Each structure stands twice: as structure tokens, then as C-alpha cells.
Structure 1
Amino acid sequence: MTIDRTTLRWNGWGPVKQENPLPADAPQWAWIEEALGVSRLPSTPAVALHDIRLPHSRLSEDVLGKLRSICGDNQVRADDYERAFHARGKSYHDLLYLRAGKLDMAPDAVVYPRSADEVLAIVKLCAEEDIALIPFGGGSSVVGGVNAMPKSLGGAVLTLDTTLMTRIIQIDKVSMTARIEAGIYGPHLEEQLQSHGVTLGHYPQSFPLSTLGGWIAARGAGQQSNRYGKAEKWLVSAKLATPKGFWTTEATPASAAGPNLNQLVAGSEGTLGVIVEATVKIHDLPERKDYRGYLFKTFAQGVEAARRINHAEIPVAMVRLSDAPETYFFQALSSSGSGGLKSKLQRMYLKMKGFDDAPCLMLIGHEGSKETVVWAQEQTEAICKRLGALALGTGPGKRWYHGRFNGPAVRDPMMDRGLGVETLETSTRWSNIANLHDKVVGAITDAIAANVPEQNARGIVMAHVSHSYPDGASLYFTFVFPRQLDREVEQWQAIKRAASDTIEMNGGTISHHHGVGADHVPWLGEEKGEIGMSILRATKREMDPKGVMNPGKVLG
């Protein structure tokens, strides 16, 4: 079971026929114009595929014939739609090119293998023919991780799509592990696991349109990572098809036999080989789930609550804290704009409780046995109340849980109206959270102000803590801004550079869970150090001597 590619947007997010969350007559547009300080929002529709001329394929008929002999005629695609769909990922930067019809970076063909043996044969053929090979799962990368980049100027590019490899090979309920093919989409994976009473528990925002192999390749994090862990935590073992043959990493529960090589696979982003299957940790389905909201008067109080919850070792599934701008933005975006008695009464009540300035919303989720969830919820609520939080009950938690995968769909209508919508994330120590938050918000705000189409225009910059640990937490930034339509890519580069330089100079990682891809390459060396980079380069040379595996990513 997989997703029919033709039902998806090749230059946007989600199904072609999905409902527009911000139609042209939505009342939120007037608020957005006012918030951004623009006189009007222009119409900037995407170019239709039939109006685009793709570059001529650089793959010879001989090579195409060999590919067909490996996996069948129908599994080798070179039509415009397949090439366009696999040209880039889903970052804002990618969409600037895709929506403008700039498809110079498109694969020469796309191949859909159905087994690990077929993948290995394709990998070896690309190595023999010196063809760049791009592993592709759901294609949801937001850092340029699946872009069809050649090895060198004019070189051929083949994209290998794993999404016909969807089997759950084995579920071991004694050891609580599952062995699964890497091309399976999130919903199908969970449907199959939950039919056996177990779950992986990995729910990134891209969950409906991303795959197991992609989660591992990018070192991804699900929204409930406090309970279930990031990809590098739940990965037990991986099998890769490499130019040198199959490589399967160790699968023991623990070992002192040298470094754990799973940590080379998680985050390798297809540069060492194609992940064809993985053994992962699974959990019994939780007996109870409890998600609820708390309102803090300041972001600092919310951060302190998250820190105390982690240090108390309370078994939470999620602690998510929005800063004041994000709390306000998503409240305004979800509002009908009609005001009314209910919203007035809410504002009066919050003012009476001392929350009339700039409150911050925290969502806390618990999953597990009934007894554990009840106890943990009592403990977290006590910590929040001691820090002055207002308990909002389960309503905000239920609303978030119901719509937790819908956020990316808002970007397309915004881009149709001349707006940029971008995200980036990092992590740092608890003692540095406030400093890094303020410095990055300031850097993005200033960079937007220096690159806007109108004199009084500005951006909306917001952030949240979404994954936390005993020693620190992640910070996830979202910003909306009016595009400079005559220099969109340059505008993005200026903002991205300012934010990334600030992260690097202020004790943050260049990526917490999005990966490196092509976009973060300039900052990786500073983080890893000279010796660390030499180790990564040596591994790449040993695994992929000709450099055909996903060139231009991670190491540049």
C-alpha cells in the first residue's frame, strides 16, 4: 500500500484536492496584511506544469534499458510529472524554484524498485556508469536533502523512489522490535503495527507524507519524542544497499565492541547508501492519552517548567511551549475574525487573572497506562501551577492533537499571496535557551526588515520548544514575511544566513531534526570540527568511492 503520486502536489504540500485552509475570502487575510505592514497582498500563483519545458534527459537508452531489466518497464519513469515531482523537496527554498517552473534541477529518470536486491543492482549500476543517485522516500525534506543534484555540471541524475517497499517483515513482541522495509509511509506503518497492538510512536508533522527510511536518514524527531525518542534512539539496526554491497549494522541491545555504527546511518541522508530496511523499537499501544494546555505569563516561566519536568524524570510524551508571538499568531489564524461574546469573555477572564500582556501556551501530553498517565499529569500540573500557570484543561490539547499534521497546508495559499513562510530549528542547553531564542528572533527580524518589498513592511517571527531532554531542548522557529518578488531566492539566502550564523555563534546546533541536506552544509564544519569532518569524509570515500550517492548533501 502506497500513495499514488499523481494525487499529490508536485510543487506544494499534500493532496491536489485537499481543502484550502485559507481561501481568498478568509477574514484572516486582512489581519495578516495589517500584521505584516503591507498595503496589499499580491496574487502570485504557481506556474502550471504544462507550461514548463524540462531539460532533455541525459540518460542513454542503454542505461534505461539496463534499469528496466532490473525492475521492469513500468518501474522506470521519465515523464514530466515524475521528474518534476522528484526534482526537489518541500522547503520554502525548494518551492520558490518549483512554483516558478525552474526545473533545471530535475532527475533524468525515476526508478521504483520493489526489493532490496533491485535497489542494490541499481546502486551498483549507477556506480559503474558514474550516475548520481538520489534516494527518495516521501520527499518531505526541508533542507534540500533530496534535490536532484548531479555529481558535476552536465552529469546524469537518477532518483530512486523507495515507496513500493512497504512490507513489515517481522514483529517480535518478545523483544519488542519490528523489522520493516524503508519505503513505508507513516500512516500505513502505524496501521499495520497497531493491528498487532504495538506502535513505533514516531509522529513528525510530515507523518502522513514521509517514510521510515527518511526519518532515519534525517535523524528525525516525532512530536512525542520525549516518550518514544528521536530516530537515532529507536533505530536498532539498518540494512543499506551501498556501492560496495549490502551493509547491515549491529542489532544487539548494547555492545562495547567499538562505536555503534547505527549512529553513522542515522543522519547519513543517503550519502553512504540507500536504507532498504530497518529494525526499530516498538511499544505496546498506550492505554490512555492525555493532552492539555497551560498558559504562562512569560516564556521564561514556561521554559523553567519544561526544565523542571525533565529533571523530575516525569514520563511525559510531549512538552511543547509556544512563545508569545506564536501563541498569538495561531490563535489569530484559527479565529473566524468575528469576535463575539465568547472571545470577549475569555479576554476579560485572562485580564482578571493577570494574563493580559503576552501569554505563552504550553501543551503537555501523556501516554501510557492509566495509572502512569494520571500520576504524571498530576505531577506536571503541580509544577506548572507553582510557576504561575493557568490550567486550561484538555480542550487546547485535543484541538492541537486533531490538527497536528495540518500546519504545512497553510503555506501554499500564503505563497499564492506573495508571502514567504519558512522554518528552522536548533537545540541548546537549558542555560542558553533564553539567550539563543532572543538572538535568533532578533537576527531573523532584522534580516527580514532589511529585505522587504515595502518601506513599512515587516515579518512575524515566532518560536516554540518542542523536544526536551535533561540537559536542554530544541527551539523551532517559524517566520512569515512579504516576499521581494524580484529577488526571492536572494531574500531567503540573506535571512537564512543571518539566522544560521547566529545559531552557530550562540551555542546551538545547525539542525535538531531536519538534517543537513544541501542548505546547512556551510555551517556543518564549524560544528563538527576539522577532525570530525575528516572522519566523515573518510567514511564517505570508503563507502562510496565514486561519490555517486546523493552528491552535494551533508559534506557538500
Structure 2
Amino acid sequence: MTGKTRSWWGWGNVEDAVTGPEREELGRRTAELLPGADLTVHEAPPVESFGVGASRVQAPPSLAPIVSEDVRDRLAHSHGQAFRDVVRALLGQLPHVPDLVVRPTSEDQIVHVLDWCSDADIAVVPFGGGSSVVGGVEPQVGDGYAGVVSLDLTSMNQVLEVDTTSRAALVQAGLFGPHLEQQLRPHGYTLRFFPQSFEFSTLGGWLATRAGGHFATHLTHIDDLTESLQVITPAGVVTTRRLPGSGAGPSPDRLFLGSEGALGVITQAWVRLQDRPRWRAGASVGFAHHAAGVEAVRALSQSGLNPANCRLLDPMEAFLNAGSPTAVLVLGFESADHPVNAWMERALELCRDHGGTPGEPPRYTDDADRTARTGAADTWRSSFVRMPYQRDALAAQGVIVETFETACTWDRFDALRAAVDDAARDAMRQVGVEAVVTCRFTHIYPDGPAPYFGIYGAGRWGRTVEQWDEIKQAVSDVLIANGATITHHHAVGRDHRPWYDRQRPDLFASALQAGKAVLDPAGILNPRVLIDPLR
């Protein structure tokens, strides 16, 4: 990230945007997939055109050194990175802009900010990397507040302590993924947590949203890697005890994991580390029928082999990402302790039992061997990281590119897949969108998969947000009706609230509301996220 410029309206770095031959090839493939699409390129408007007004509030002089009123800074903190966020920015439609961006460098400063905002009736939206795709950082707080502050934690970005005996580290919440790994590397450790947003998201954001990492099984959720938390609330500081496990009542950590800044500001955490892996294995397996691939993945999930990567792409998803005409399973294993050849061989045997055909021979690598070559899994991983940039390029050409991620039990998957496909296609017909629907598994469990449903559609420029919202409404209704979750790892934010309200038990909502009243009595923290405002 050093030396590059973050985009204020879209994903990642300006220098890494899709241009030249990559854009030409992306356009060619899109035109082939969606022959009726108008692929005119639309550029982001100048910052000055948004007409952002002056701040409605003024920070105390003691906070002045950490406060920004810069218009570009405020615009960058006015939205996340969902498809609808990117398109609204391209259209010059960002109606909710924070009055100030505040970047504390210490917990004392956070206490000061929360005291000031509680007394002055100013809403506070905690902000990490800004990669939310559910409206979680958009300062859409409603009327009744004197102003809105975006509390950017990224100046608190250090690994404070490493406990080599317990294999854990105390880490500040504003640390971005790459910088966290850089600071752990000299100790020989890794957090082994690599979401697609890894480069542009922070530990605090992962914790506040109960994020999921890249790995398909075993310790893939940030919950599993959290030993203890420190949280600053308007009512005081909460510090939980470092423990490998405890049966002492409901877990206080679990109250704040996934709280999305509505209950307090997570400032640091003890996280569980792992030795850096040395041995890896990768392979891809083709399936003539997607259903056979689903059964193979279920067998793998219940085998106890715990693959690091187990991503099943349906034929359309495989065609878009790898040019394959059949369903493809991208399979991988890794270990810091031992070679993983036997695990891979058994996994491939299970795949063959379900009609799978491995592609090229498995690739076994040892970090001690500097000549180790890469293969399909590595190519897919590079494509995976590149996807958000390509999404932005297509969004700027009027293409709807977005996903639904969920989880369900294995017995419900077939019905869910059919219901999502029907609902999406019906909604797309109603809004006049020519599109394809894809499905891939990102995470698997013994009792069910986490499917990603992708929408690639030829929208109408100037209307793509509204068209997408109609599709999202239809599919989200189907997820809840079929016993799936509204989100597996992208949090609730403001975009998922209507369905989260239907998913959670009513009494739990009341208990959460009561907890909010105790921890945030003035109701200033991220209003409208998870629960209704106290006012």
C-alpha cells in the first residue's frame, strides 16, 4: 500500500485500477456473456461537484490535531465498497457525508471523542478500512443529531506484544491485514486470516463484523482467533480476560464480536496465532454435473480432512473465472508441521468416488524449495484478489456485478439454490435486466455450505442501483424463507437490517436494545445498525 493512492470512490488503489489490455479483455468477455449490454465507460465525477457543505460541528481544541474537514477525506468516509456504494459515487449521489473525520492515536483520545460527542449529541461511526459492503460505515444516522463524526482507527496500527509461549499477540484495531502480517513475520507467526478485503481492511473491522477469512474450513472465522478484547464505550472501558476457553456464563467477547460499532469501539485484541505454513498442496477437480460436485464437497466437509481451500464453482462461475465448461473444485491443503500429500490424495479419492476428474497432477510445494511452481489454485487466488477491481470497472459500464453470500444446512441447499435462481431470474425480468446467476461455495462445514450467489447483469446506466435493490429484495426474502442466513460473514450494517430483524429472535433484539442503553446511553454509536436508535 505504500506509495499508492487510495481511491475515494471505489476499491483499493488508484494505480491498480483495471486499465489497458485487462479492461479490453474484460469488456470482450462481458460483451460475449451479455450481448445486449451498453458498455459505455463512465468516469467518477470531480470531488468538487458533490457540493459538500461545511461541517456542522467543531471539535474541542484539544482534538484539533487529529481532526480532518477535508472534502475528499469526508467523501471517502461516507460510504463502503458495495456495488451500490460504488455506483452512487460514480453518479455523484453520496447524500450522507460525515462532518468530521477523526483519527485518534490513543485510547485516551477515543474516550475524549466519545465524551464530547455524547454531550454534544453527535453520532459516531467507527471506521477501519471502509470495506463494508452492507452500509455499515455509511453515516446514515437519521435526524436528531447535531452532526456525525467518522472515527477512523487506522492510526492505531501496531502489534503491541507477542506471547511466544501461548502463541498469541496483542494487536491494535486499526492495523491493516498486510501490515499485521509484516509485524508478525519476524516472530515466525501468522494470524492466517485472509479475507478478500485483506489488503484494505483492519483487525478492528474483522472483529466488529465477525468476518470470515479465505480458508474453507477450520479457524476461518475471526471469532475462532480471538482470545480477548478491549472495548471503549461511552459508559466505560470493557477488558475481557485472556483465556483459551471458559464456561463462565455468556461470553463477553461474543457480545462485541459482530456488534459493528453500535455497542463500543474495539481498540485492541489478543489474537491466537499460528506457525507460518511450510507445506502446501493444490489441485483442481472437474465435475460433469454440479450436483455431483456438491456431494463430493459434502463428503469432504464430513471427512475430517479440513482442506484449507475447498471452493466449488458451478459451470457458469467456472466459465467466468477459468474458462471451464464444467463445475470445478479448487482444492488445497497446508501445514506448518508436516507434508500434506496424504491428505490431498485422500481428498482426490473422495472426489473420484463422486465422479470427479482431477485436472493436472496435484502440486506439492515446500517453502524450503525456492523452485516450487504455482498452479491453478494460485492462479485462482490471484483472480480472487483482483475481482473487486474488475467489479468497479464493470460497474462503471452499467453492468450489475454483485453477490449474495449465505449459509444453510446440507439438507436445505438444493431447495435454496432453486429458490434463489427462480427469485433472481423473476426479479431480473421485472426490472428489465439481462443477467446470469452463478453459485460457488466459499466455506464448508460438516452440517452445511456457505454458498455465494453471483449476479452478472446488463443494467441501465443511471438505474442500476434501483435495479439491483429490487433483485436484492427478492433474493433476500428467499434466503430467510428457506432457513438460510442473511449473511455468512459480511455483517448486517444498514442494508441487511430488514432481514436480520426477521432472522433474530424478538427477545434477543430486546436484550440487545437493553445492552445498548447501558453501554451507549446517549445512543450516539453507529445509529440504525443492528437495532433501532434509542431516540
TM-score over 0.5 for the pair? yes
The answer (yes or no) to whether the contact 2:279–2:338 under 8 Å persists in 1 is no
User: What is the correspondence of 1:471-490 to structure 2 with a 5 Å cutoff?
Assistant: 471-490=447-466
The answer (yes or no) to whether the contact 1:22–1:410 under 8 Å persists in 2 is no
1:140 aligns with 2:131: yes
Secondary structure of 1:364's partner? strand
Letter in 2 for 1:242: T
Deviations 1:47-88 (A, max 9, x none): 12132211331113xxx2x1x414x52x21001111011001
Aligned length: 519
Aligned to 1:228: 219
Aligned to 1:203: 194
Secondary structure of 2:415's partner? helix
CA distance in 2: counterparts of 1:92 and 1:274, whole angstroms: 27
Distance 1:326 1:183, change over 3 A: same
CA distance in 1: counterparts of 2:38 and 2:106, whole angstroms: 52
The CA deviation at 1:415 is 1.7
User: What is the correspondence of 1:427-506 to structure 2 with a 5 Å cutoff?
Assistant: 427-452=407-432, 458-506=434-482
The CA deviation at 1:309 is 1.4
Deviations 1:453-508 (A, max 9, x none): xxxx5112112111111111101122121223343332122111001000000110
Structure 2 gap ranges (5+): 364-374
Aligned to 2:367: none
The CA deviation at 1:282 is 0.6
Greater CA drift, 504-513 or 242-251: 242-251
CA distance in 1: counterparts of 2:406 and 2:37, whole angstroms: 34
The counterpart of 1:364, out of the listed 326, 331, 341, is: 331
The answer (yes or no) to whether the contact 1:178–1:279 under 8 Å persists in 2 is yes
Distance 1:389 1:21, change over 3 A: farther
CA distance in 2: counterparts of 1:138 and 1:413, whole angstroms: 21
Distance 1:22 1:458, change over 3 A: farther
Secondary structure of 2:112's partner? helix
The counterpart of 2:177, out of the listed 182, 186, 189, is: 186
Secondary structure of 1:388's partner? coil
Secondary structure of 2:488's partner? coil
1:42 aligns with 2:69: no
Greater CA drift, 180-189 or 465-474: 465-474
The answer (yes or no) to whether the contact 2:121–2:145 under 8 Å persists in 1 is no
The CA deviation at 1:389 is 1.0
Secondary structure of 1:126's partner? helix
Aligned to 1:296: 287
Moved over 6 A (4+): none
The CA deviation at 1:287 is 1.7
1:245 aligns with 2:236: yes
The answer (yes or no) to whether the contact 2:83–2:395 under 8 Å persists in 1 is no
Quote the RMSD (CA, aligned, Å): 1.9
The counterpart of 1:69, out of the listed 62, 66, 69, is: 62
Aligned to 1:219: 210
The CA deviation at 1:154 is 6.1
CA distance in 1: counterparts of 2:135 and 2:349, whole angstroms: 43
Aligned to 1:555: 531
Letter in 2 for 1:423: T
Distance 1:291 1:153, change over 3 A: farther
The answer (yes or no) to whether the contact 1:116–1:276 under 8 Å persists in 2 is yes
The counterpart of 2:304, out of the listed 309, 313, 322, is: 313
The CA deviation at 1:401 is 2.8
CA distance in 2: counterparts of 1:199 and 1:228, whole angstroms: 13
CA distance in 2: counterparts of 1:310 and 1:103, whole angstroms: 43
CA distance in 2: counterparts of 1:373 and 1:109, whole angstroms: 51
Distance 1:212 1:10, change over 3 A: same
Aligned to 2:372: none
CA distance in 2: counterparts of 1:24 and 1:228, whole angstroms: 35
The counterpart of 1:29, out of the listed 19, 23, 27, is: 27
The CA deviation at 1:175 is 0.9
Aligned to 2:247: 256
Letter in 2 for 1:483: G
Aligned to 2:368: none
Aligned to 2:348: 381
CA distance in 2: counterparts of 1:403 and 1:482, whole angstroms: 22
Secondary structure of 1:428's partner? coil
